[in-house]
Structure 1
Amino acid sequence: MIPGISRCCLGALALGLLWAVPAWAGGDAILDPAHTRLGFELRTRWGQRLEGVFPRYEGHVRVLPDGQHQVQLRMFTRDVEIVGYPRYTEWARGSHFFESDRYPVVTFISRPYSPQLLRSGGELDGDLSIRGISRPRSLTVQATTCARPAVDCDVVATGTVRRSDYDMDDWKLAINDRVVFLLRARVQDGARQ
């Protein structure tokens, strides 16, 4: 027993620590489709913002033996949409952007990270693969204030890539090279794979 701390206080402290650990800490968790949105933003040379979304994806968070976590995402390019612009949607699925017939998925696999990252925010390092080209990339995770990040509140992460790094450099005169990925995600409370 720690001097000056009663059994009651120790129990409350232990309970508080349990709440600080995500509900799915004992096993893998899948992304909650009701609260998850994966997408990106492009800008035209004229300042127009184009919002892209991946309505179809697979994602889960693995809990590793050492207690660290790892995110694995698969976003399906055949279903990608540029919101409100059917012509840009065709282009995004076509041979000059995602080339979805040949490369049907974009993947992001993070390096192992401490679950504390979801509370404090910071860089989530990993590998992003687009069109068969894999490059190390980081997502910036925003700090959260809820007790169970990814369960009780969204985890929000952004990352910037250049299209030209992935051989997606068509329409350079019309579309900027910079692509901003935006991920807003939760896991299913208590769901395990």
Structure 2
Amino acid sequence: MTIEIPGYRPGTYTIDPAHSEVGFSVRHMMISKVKGAFHVIEGTIVAPENPLEASVTAKADVASINTKDEGRDQHLRSADFFDAEQFPTIEFVSTGVREEDGEFLVDGDLTIHGVTQPVTFNLELGGFGTDPWGNFKAGATGTAKVDRESFGLTWNAALETGGVLVGKDVTITLDLQASLQA
């Protein structure tokens, strides 16, 4: 099955780190959410004639984590969580693209903390266009929910009022912009 997407151009796209990030949110103290982001350090999207045959590879820098609290960021970089020294990147490699009920889904393998798990991102195409310098761009946002403990991120603290400090479910949001290679 081949689908048509207005403005779509086949080719190989390079993810632009200056216009892309890996964001996340996780329940904190069972009452609110903490949000943060990692900087994308590299990525490629191969877009053949049939968009459903596209593939994506991407890496984010664990040490770049930013939750707007340097003390928390240092703790997240430590062996209690991401262990940035031993596992410096988060990586995603797609295994397939599909369309269901008018939505695009990107299946793939997500590696965090040295553990690889299958994950499916719901993809929202932002669109396509040419920048003022003649470079053709594509933009998209992908979201997925993962269980952080399945990646070995199990640190937590019990609260006096019941519950725990950090929730298990993490929502990942990929905001990506990529340039078509000449």
Band the TM-score falls in, shorter-chain normalisation: 0.7 to 0.9
Aligned residue-pair number: 164
Please tell me whether residue 81 in structure 1 is matched to residue 63 in structure 2. Answer: no
Give the alignment of 1:60-71 within 5 angstroms.
60-63=44-47, 68-71=53-56
Match of 1:108 in 2: 92
SS in 2 for 1:176: strand
Please tell me whether residue 157 in structure 1 is matched to residue 142 in structure 2. Answer: yes
* Separation (CA, whole Å) in 1 of partners of 2:74 and 2:47: 38
SS in 2 for 1:102: coil
Residue deviations 1:73-112 (CA, integer Å, cap 9, x gap): 1111122121x21111011111111111111111111113
SS in 2 for 1:22: coil
Residue deviations 1:50-79 (CA, integer Å, cap 9, x gap): 111112421110245976210101111122
Please tell me whether residue 95 in structure 1 is matched to residue 79 in structure 2. Answer: yes
C-alpha RMSD over aligned residues:
2.6
Q: Which amino acid aligns with 1:191?
A: Q
Aligned to 1:166, which of 147, 151, 165? 151
- Structure-2 change in CA distance of 1:157 and 1:143 (3 Å): same
Higher helix share: 1
Q: Give 1:170 deviation, angstroms.
A: 0.4
- Is the CA contact (8 Å cut-off) linking 1:155 and 1:184 kept in structure 2? yes
Q: What runs of 5+ residues in structure 2 fail to find an aligned partner?
A: 130-135, 158-163
Q: Give 1:46 deviation, angstroms.
A: 4.1
- Is the CA contact (8 Å cut-off) linking 2:80 and 2:155 kept in structure 1? yes
Higher strand share: 2
Match of 2:103 in 1: 121
Please tell me whether residue 20 in structure 1 is matched to residue 6 in structure 2. Answer: yes
Match of 1:176 in 2: 167
Q: Give 1:49 deviation, angstroms.
A: 2.0
TM-score scaled by length of structure 2: 0.78
TM-score scaled by length of structure 1: 0.74
Q: Which amino acid aligns with 2:13?
A: A
- Is the CA contact (8 Å cut-off) linking 1:130 and 1:166 kept in structure 2? yes
Match of 2:181 in 1: 191
Match of 1:135 in 2: 117
Match of 1:57 in 2: 41
* Separation (CA, whole Å) in 1 of partners of 2:40 and 2:56: 17
State the identity %. Answer: 19
Q: Which amino acid aligns with 1:185?
A: L
Give every structure 1 segment of 4 or more consecutive aligned residues whose post-TM-superposition deviation is greater than 4 Å: 64-67
Residue deviations 1:17-72 (CA, integer Å, cap 9, x gap): 8x83533x1x3211123432221112202423211111242111024597621010
Q: Which amino acid aligns with 1:62?
A: V
